[in-house]
Each structure stands twice: as C-alpha cells, then as structure tokens.
Amino acid sequence: MGCFSFLKVMMILFNLAIFLGGGTLLGVGIWVAVDGSSFSSIFGSSSTLQFVNVSYFLIVIGAILVVLGFLGCCGAQKESKCLLIMFFSIVLIIFIAEIAAAVVALVYTSLAENILQTTVTPTLKNQYGKVTEVTQVWNVTMSQVKCCGLTNYTDFTDSYYYKEHGNTYPPFCCNSTNAPCTETEARNSNRPGCFEQLLSDIRKNAGVVGGVAVGICALEIASMVVSMYLYCQLDKK
C-alpha cells in the first residue's frame, strides 16, 4: 500500500470516528433539550437545568463534528478536492479561533473579568432569587466551585435576594449553613468569587489543560496536513 492509499484510509477512519462521535453528541444534546427531565431521571441528576444548558453546547459541538467528519470522510473516499479543501478550511478556522481565544484568555484576563462584572453582576442583583433558571444555575455553580457571587459576597448586597431574605446573603457565601448568612458572617467566611476560584482551579490543573489543548492542536494540524497532502496528490493522478 502506497503512502497516498495509507493516508486515504487513515483519513477515512479518523473522520468516520469524528462523524460517529459528533452524531452521538448531537443526538444526546437534542434528547436532553427536548426531554431533559427523563434524561435527569435516568442519570440521577438533581437539576434538570444543568443538562438543558449543556445540551445546547453538545448540539453545537456535535453538529460541527458531524460536518467535519462528513467532509473529511467523503472527501477522502470520493477523492474530492472540493470537500477536502472545505475540510481543511473549517479545521484551519477552528484552529485560528482556538489560538486567538487562548491568547485573549491569557493576556486579557482582567478585561474579561471587567466585562463579566458589567454583565453578570446586574443579573445576580436583579434576578437571583427571582428567576428560577438563574437561581438554579448559580446555586449549582456556587455549591460545586465553593464560591460566592462573581467577585465576592458584595455582589448580592442590596440585591433582590438580599432584600427578600431579611438583608441576608445566600448560604453559599458563609462557612456555616445552619444560621442566616449575615454580612458579618459572609465577611468573616471570606468565600472567594466564582471567577477567581475558576481561574485558581484552572491554574492548579494547568498541566492537564495544557496537555489536552496541545493534543487537540496536534490532531488538528495533522488532519490539515493529511487533507492538504491528499488534495495536492489528486493533481498528480
């Protein structure tokens, strides 16, 4: 088997796996979006909303993978230059977007925090405790991440929740959950904000995050190289 045939077969198998994986994610995402309650009952989740929110992410990722898998698999099988160059272009766009997002995340972390403060903090003040969806999302986040608000407990000062619960804060903002979370207790508990805590967790697992990122980038580069090699070789056939 020549180099062209070998890479063609590997391209087909690789993109077939991507297509099937994307189809699975797409199917699960649609299922959860349509019938999140049955999904949560099967998997024993206490919050259907978590899965409903994740479902849209799964649908988007699944759809992208299905398209990529189709283009790569059919492009190699049919030896179609059009499909191969489309596959190459989409992977290249995704690769550039990932690099840009990584640079922005590293260089403009403080800017991202300021943007989040201007958009998320008003939502916390006005909707937490009033809108069920917002309340559940933040309850799950603060419970699992062990944080309070976006910046700290002061995000809830004079908020709807604060006023409706006798000038107290959500129990996640205090170390003790047996007594009402007063301002003094919240200040003494010194719970970190969720943004700061998430950044801290990412830094602690920087090796794992970096390894996964490098692995994904390597796969993308390899797929682009192989697709372009097949594209160029078709001119010689």
pLDDT in tens, 39-93: 554 444 444 444 445 677 778 888 888 999 999 888 888 888 898 899 999 999 9
Give which of 201, 181, 202 is closest to 190, Cα–Cα.
181
DSSP bridge pairs for 169: 181
Q: How far apart are CA 84 and CA 8, in angstroms?
A: 11
Residue 146 has pLDDT above 70, yes or no: yes
Q: How far is CA 129 from CA 68, 138, 163, in A?
A: 42, 10, 10
Mean pLDDT confidence for 134-150: 87
* Amino acid identity, position 144: Q
At a CB cut-off of 8 Å and minimum separation 6, what does 145 contact?
194, 197, 198, 201
Q: What percent of the chain has pLDDT over 70?
A: 84
Please state which of the ranges 30-44, 72-86, 137-151, 215-229 shows the lowest mean pLDDT. 30-44
- pLDDT for the residue numbered 21: 86
Q: For the chain, what is the mean pLDDT?
A: 81
pLDDT at 45: 45
pLDDT score recorded for residue 207: 72
pLDDT at 35: 67
Neighbours of 39 (CB within 10 A): 18
Answer yes or no: pTM beyond 0.75. no
DSSP-derived 3-state class of residue 106:
helix
Cα separations in angstroms, 6 against 49, 58, 78, 191: 46, 32, 15, 56
Report the pLDDT averaged over residues 100-119: 71
The more confident residue out of 197 and 186 is 186
- CA 20/CA 164 separation, integer angstroms: 50
Is the pLDDT confidence value at 143 over 80? Answer: yes
| Percentage of the chain modeled with pLDDT above 90 | 13
203: left (phi over 0), alpha (psi -120 to 50) or beta: alpha
CA quadruple 30, 31, 34, 40: dihedral sign = negative
Helices (H), strands (E): how many in the chain? 10, 0
Out of 2-11, 12-21, 39-48, 138-147, pick the least confident: 39-48
pLDDT beyond 90 at 100: no
113 pLDDT above the threshold of 70:
no
